[in-house]
């Protein structure tokens, strides 16, 4: 399960889908439920975004190490 969730396509899906839901939720759901949905989805989206950045920096470090 961990390898599936850390793959780039899954991270991109989590990032974009949850960011879109976080942006729409306050308008689609009234009150505290909409706000909490937006916050929760935003946190998941940020986590996926950080995962994408982490894998990107790891790739750059590997390329720099292979060059010399």
Band (pLDDT 50/70/90 cuts) for residue 68 is: low
- Give the ranges where the chain is alpha helix by DSSP (H): 2-5, 8-28, 31-67
Which of these, 8, 3, 33, lies nearest to 16 by C-alpha position?
8
What is the distance between the alpha carbons of residues 10 and 46, in angstroms, rounded to a whole number? 14
Q: Which residue has the higher pLDDT, 68 or 11?
A: 11
Q: Which residue has the higher pLDDT, 67 or 52?
A: 52
The neighbour count for residue 48, using CB atoms within 10 Å, is 22
pLDDT, residue 62, reads: 80
CB 27 within 8 A of CB 53: no
Segment 24-65, tens digit of pLDDT: 999 999 999 999 999 999 999 999 999 999 888 877 888 888
């Amino acid at each position: 399960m961990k390898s599936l969730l850390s793959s780039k396509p899954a991270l991109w899906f989590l990032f974009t889908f949850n960011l879109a839901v976080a942006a729409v939720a306050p308008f689609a759901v009234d009150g505290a439920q909409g706000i909490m949905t937006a916050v929760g989805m935003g946190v998941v989206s940020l986590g996926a975004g950080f995962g994408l950045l982490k894998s990107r920096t790891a790739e750059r470090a590997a390329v720099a190490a292979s060059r010399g």
